């Protein structure tokens, strides 16, 4: 024999959730479709961007006044460092190539000098 509860709180909460979810979803979707919502969001975004621009300008002015580098100045220095590094890498590669060419030339000269010494020794005998 199974007992059924006269009042099931889980069923009540599930029903409550489903009804409120459906109502809120519909209301929010209707609000999002309105032109006034889009205009309001656009105006909010514009105000946020203006406030951000003002804060950036004020921060930059403050940093300059206390003789600290700004973000753009640090970025400029980083760019210069990267350029110097790339030039050093290119010079290093070129120098390595020149050294390899010199090694080959010295080796070739060594062989020629050895041949000359051998020829000189043969003529002396």
CA angle 16, 18, 20 (to 5 degrees): 65
Q: How many CB atoms lie within 10 A of CB 63?
A: 14
Looking at residue 123, what is its pLDDT?
Answer: 84
Domain range for residue 125? Answer: 70-125
Cβ neighbours for 72, distance < 8 A, ≥ 6 positions apart: 60
Among 51, 68, 85, give the residue marking a domain's end: 68
Q: What are the structure tokens assigned to 78, written together?
A: 């980083």
Number of domains in the chain: 2
One domain for residues 74 and 125? yes
Q: What's the pLDDT score for residue 9?
A: 85
Residue 48: inside a domain, yes or no? yes
**Do 58 and 78 share a domain, yes or no?**
no
Q: Could you list the mean pLDDT of each consecutive 10-residue stretch along the chain, which spans 125 residues?
A: 71 91 92 93 97 96 94 95 96 94 94 90 80
pLDDT value for 44: 97
């Amino acid at each position: 024999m199974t007992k059924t509860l006269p009042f099931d709180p889980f069923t009540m909460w599930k029903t409550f959730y489903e009804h409120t979810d459906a109502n809120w979803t519909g209301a929010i979707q209707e609000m999002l479709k309105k032109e006034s919502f889009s205009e309001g969001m656009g105006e909010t975004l514009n105000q946020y961007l203006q406030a951000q621009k003002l804060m950036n300008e004020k921060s930059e002015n403050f940093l300059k006044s206390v003789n600290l580098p700004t973000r753009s100045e640090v970025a400029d220095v980083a760019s210069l460092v990267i350029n110097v590094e790339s030039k050093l890498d290119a010079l290093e590669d070129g120098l390595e190539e020149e050294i390899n060419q010199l090694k080959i030339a010295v080796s070739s000269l060594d062989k020629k000098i050895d041949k000359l010494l051998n020829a000189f020794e043969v003529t002396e005998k």
